[in-house]
Structure 1
């Protein structure tokens, strides 16, 4: 039987000129990380940033890989969960990087899901005015979305991801075998981001997911292909619009509603995790598009049926516990990064795979929609 570390991997390039980097996708990449890093970045020292849950499963394998490749390294282990993506843990990581006397040419390795990737990337982006970093995403959501494209940051009491920088990684190692240890809920949450790429501008991919989602969940070749296609979709948009000056905003489909719901639940992962917020947000975006006569009700119902069919929440009523009122949700939306000079901007759709940037939406229209869809 072939060892996972020796199996071929799929390569996707993020084309950013001199800052281009590879996304490698396949099983066994944690065990190959040391060789991949040493081959590209000889002589670097590293700090691995991870959380307690991921460390228990993957840190020893990564440390062994770095050691075999002669890469000097240390580890910073944080609490798991969305609340770690905040100022206190960020300060701890920055202090640890400085205390280790790592230099600008050294590396921060983010080993974990989106929380760790965003926080570690932000620290790498600001310590010594910009260190290199490598993403080793261990969740499906991180492998298909947050590890690619250079968005880093932390949350505040005012909203999600409001403090951060654009800072591209130098390499992404998406070990698909790591997904075998994910709880089913976390895998489903990551799948929502896969669906997003089909809904933005790849209707054929959405159709493929409708036919093959069970195989994606089961693992194997279908899972690798779905991850690779998601990365190709994101890489293409990032290469054309790195800092979200234009079309990259399409990647926020479902996120304006979703981020507001995450903030409204206090980033409590027991009630709502990011991918679930995106699933509800994408359904709301399609319903809102129907309300504005931009999208057919049939397409909106098709999207909701697929997301619900794989076990994702699609309505605000699916969130446990009480939510603040529609007016409070609108306040969270107004804090979102997609607001420009007070004008509300949403990613809406004219149908599956036909998303667009809708600017200057009246707040009163959004508030009325929120009231209609609020479980209270």
Structure 2
């Protein structure tokens, strides 16, 4: 005996992918094949999205009476609005970075009023953080768009399966126009997801280029810092060498006059104490001879010392020349990098 009370139902569970700043949209539908009575359990990402979805249901009550899968269409449309805003924010971040680096042709740049920030950051550290964050977000956008296309394709397959099952059960199905309208609306949202997905490779290429530009700016900044440090080091070396020369001259003059001073003091002491009565001429000759002799000895010692330290001075001069050469190379590299940028 045929059981006329047998009811055929279909249960559908779904999850819409989420942007990085919201939660998943989860839900389940229990559809009665005979009367198309539907029980839905939904959990949307944010309160604003929930209110917007509720308003969409209020504005389109007749469509829900046509087919229960319009509920999936409304969820898909509502979620796509969130995805579109998210994708737009990432695109604006890219334009902000391009404006800050100045590496985009004028005909490709938006008007200044269209940028999301009043003052784009000039710090390379902030720019690097921005481009890496945007790169991660765009990678997530790509994953979300692929999941969104699978969601739309799955909803279309579910519509076809429901209609085929109702036809097998001998139940009335949607009119061709009504079914085509529902499927085409779903396909339209899928096509918009595909359009975003097709744009992502171009944006990621632009973002990779901006990452390279930021790294170039960082290298240029480090090069300038190195050049400044090298210039300061050269200046310090020159000042130290100048001080060393002054001290050396003072030391040489002191040593040259030291013998004469010593002899003068000794002669003065002898004359004052009157221990020995010397003839003035002899006194003068003795003073001159002792002064000249001791000066010659001191000069010879200084010459010998200078000869021994000449090698050390040449080594120090070679280091200074190498520092100057390094500074020159850094300056040339900085100019080349500045010209390339």
TM-score, with length taken from structure 1: 0.21
User: As a proportion of its length, which structure holds more helix?
Assistant: 2
User: As a proportion of its length, which structure holds more strand?
Assistant: 1
In terms of Rg, which structure is larger? Answer: 2
